[in-house]
Structure 1
Amino acid sequence: MSREEKVVCVTGASGFIASWLVELLLARGYFVHATVRSLDDPKKTEHLLALEGAKERLSLFEANLLKEGSFEAAVNGCQCVFHTASPVLFSVSDPQVQLLDPALKGTLNVLNSAAKVSSIKRVILTSSIATILYGTKPLESGVMVDETWFSDPVICEQTKSWYSLAKTLAENAAVKFSEDKGFELVVINPGYVIGPVLQPTLNFTSEGIMSLIKHGKEVYTDGIYRLVDVRDVANAHILAFENPEANGRYIMIGNVVRSPEIMTIVNKLYPNFSHSERYEDGMCAELLPYNVSRVRAEGLGVEFTPIETSIKDTIESLKENNFMSF
């Protein structure tokens, strides 16, 4: 079957990563079934319908992670499902309702629907670096984190790392489901995703990087950022489908940096931005306690965007969308 005839499904299509995934799939000639929570919400649909090729090859479907069977119409006739839909929240009042149920039950709902469609041979799951870093292995100086690291649900729960717990439980359940049902599962584990936004609303990671740049407000208490460009993450999803040898997990992190390094780059790109003048090259001298392997991602064919390009494109996009001004 030629690429032009391929039909794929993207869940949670209005999100940051998923919107780029839809854009790149359409650019490659795919027919895309895209799910959103509400077809009546223009913030979920208009930016997708405006993409080049959308009129000819994009179909929107309404689906709810917690409603059993609601993805069946969307996955019908597809060769692959890209399951990106899952809440990204780091401050919650009810972890079970806000994170755990949508992540775990939602993943199983999507997989159950996919398992009923004989044409679907592979599912690409958008997971997270959060399913890797919170385990029994210590993040000691000089270690190289790779895909053999796994977060421990017990540790996640003890430390109240609810997002990590939700993503870990969902990934583990997806792996077991795929093994039981006999279809291929490839897992993408992105770090902190930055880059230009396509959706009209501000997503969590874009809001966080904007707060760091504008106000010096740290997202992480240790000031360490595991950055990756959203376009690279979306591309990795497609490579994971198109490459028949793709398997297992793929960490997607282009650079591990401290916040002063980010702000030093901002300072060079935008020297008139008053906040960034507090940051100088000397502040980046402290060694990082660990690094993250790019070997498997690069073996998949990913060519990581330079960090300077990602940061510049992030800021320009936030400015263009009136989320921030200099």
Structure 2
Amino acid sequence: MSASMEETTRVCVTGGSGYIGSWIVKRLLERGYTVHATVRNSGDERKVGFLKSFPNAETGLVLFEADLYNPHDFEKAIRGCQYVFHVATPLHHDPSSSKFKDTSEAAVAGVKSIAESCIRSGTVRRLIYTATVMAASPMKDDAKCFAEAMDESCWTPLNLSDPHSSDQFVEDYVKSKTQSERELLRYDGVIEIVSIALGLVGGSTIRSALPDSLRVLIAQATNDGTWYRVLRILEEVTGKVPVVHIEDACEAHIFCISKQRSISGRFLCASDYVKTADIAHHIKKSFPEIQIPEEFIEDTGREIAWGSSKLEEMGFKYKYDLKMILEDSINCARMAGEINSNT
């Protein structure tokens, strides 16, 4: 896409103040796009002020208030755009809602409303959805064993029965993301739908607080039992842990609007697919001063292969490997004071 085309292209990013959404907004503005970013409260400077400080934000950024529990809120933000990144997802159920009984209903209603708004707009060429590998488990239907490889054909069973997956928040998250991704892909053919299923995202952050995904990734280094449990749940759902750097995750999204030819479908996005025991090994190798207790190192012995190559076949190249992802994540945590700089 030429610079002149970028300057005349409007892109909507839902969840613009979140970890992934804010990175996408920043990179789009740097490239000269006009960005319609949705946030839940545009008047909360603590959560949206940093967006206004991005290069070109003064002339290229327009904020819209929208909430997935009121999915029609997104109509105005989508109007006039050529591309839409649907990044927002409900993580916690709003108990005051009379429309939806849980986050799954809200997420599914959200993707349907956004897809239909894109169709009604008459301008949107492609809708890119931020999905998760948690919805792409290579677990077989009986949930007792795994397939030999993990790729785009894998879908997580909605009736997870593995004891490691008994965390209610994780179960709700997996269910909502799986159901909403399946629902959105039904619109493929009416409008171009691209689903980018991200691995566990690490690296750095442009927000004031460390994102949860980064806390999960480095849980062994911080000796945090709560986040380590989530890391192990991810491993039990996806066989091993797919990981991706925030920069690569962001670039994969933007790559999907740079393609002028028609593209659609599901794409898994991860540069590495490793066991949690391997993550601990790499941390200890790069940071020998960090002590990881034995209870935070559990080797499953699984050797499932990474079978996804669709993004690379289209021409996308990952710039960050596991070593770089972990080093950036640990250094980011140190700068945030989450890890003692002397350890």
TM band (smaller chain) = 0.7 to 0.9
Matches within 5 A, 1:78-97: 78-88=81-91, 97=101
- Classify 1:40/1:252 alpha carbon distance in 2 versus 1 (closer, same or farther; 3 Å): same
When normalised by structure 2's length, the TM-score is: 0.82
Find out whether 1:166 has 2:176 as its counterpart: yes
Q: Distance in 2 between matches of 1:106 and 1:3?
A: 27
- Classify 1:270/1:173 alpha carbon distance in 2 versus 1 (closer, same or farther; 3 Å): same
Find out whether 1:40 has 2:57 as its counterpart: no
2:158 to 153, 166, 173: 153
User: Which residue number in structure 2 is paired with residue 99 of structure 1?
Assistant: 103
Matches within 5 A, 1:1-326: 2-88=5-91, 97=101, 99-133=103-137, 136=141, 143-154=148-159, 161-179=171-189, 182-215=190-223, 217=225, 218=228, 219-221=231-233, 222=235, 224-243=240-259, 244-273=261-290, 275-276=291-292, 287-304=301-318, 305-326=320-341
- Classify 1:93/1:140 alpha carbon distance in 2 versus 1 (closer, same or farther; 3 Å): farther
| SS at 1:318 equivalent | helix
When normalised by structure 1's length, the TM-score is: 0.86
Q: Distance in 2 between matches of 1:292 and 1:92?
A: 37
Q: Distance in 1 between matches of 2:24 and 2:202?
A: 14
State the identity %: 25
Deviates more, 1:64-73 or 1:200-209: 200-209
- Classify 1:135/1:122 alpha carbon distance in 2 versus 1 (closer, same or farther; 3 Å): farther
Q: Distance in 2 between matches of 1:139 and 1:314?
A: 33
| SS at 1:177 equivalent | coil
Deviates more, 1:203-212 or 1:134-143: 134-143
Q: Distance in 1 between matches of 2:179 and 2:90?
A: 14
- Classify 1:324/1:53 alpha carbon distance in 2 versus 1 (closer, same or farther; 3 Å): farther
Q: Distance in 2 between matches of 1:220 and 1:297?
A: 27
- Classify 1:144/1:93 alpha carbon distance in 2 versus 1 (closer, same or farther; 3 Å): farther
> What RMSD in Å do the two structures reach over aligned CA positions?
3.0
- Classify 1:44/1:110 alpha carbon distance in 2 versus 1 (closer, same or farther; 3 Å): farther
- Conserved? CA contact 1:17–1:230, under 8 Å: yes
5+ unaligned residues in a row in structure 1: which ranges? none
Could you list the runs of 4 or more consecutive aligned residues of structure 1 that deviate by over 6 angstroms after TM superposition? 91-94, 156-160, 283-286
Q: Distance in 2 between matches of 1:312 and 1:321?
A: 14
The code of the aligned residue for 1:115 comes to I
Q: Distance in 2 between matches of 1:122 and 1:141?
A: 33
- Conserved? CA contact 1:261–1:284, under 8 Å: no
Q: Distance in 1 between matches of 2:37 and 2:140?
A: 34
Q: Distance in 1 between matches of 2:155 and 2:251?
A: 24
The code of the aligned residue for 2:104 comes to L
Q: Distance in 2 between matches of 1:156 and 1:177?
A: 30
Equivalent residues, number = 318
Q: Distance in 2 between matches of 1:262 and 1:143?
A: 21
The Cα of 1:154 is off from its aligned counterpart by: 4.8
- Conserved? CA contact 1:140–1:290, under 8 Å: no
The Cα of 1:209 is off from its aligned counterpart by: 2.4
Q: Distance in 1 between matches of 2:263 and 2:11?
A: 17
- Conserved? CA contact 1:128–1:191, under 8 Å: yes
5+ unaligned residues in a row in structure 2: which ranges? none
The code of the aligned residue for 1:232 comes to D
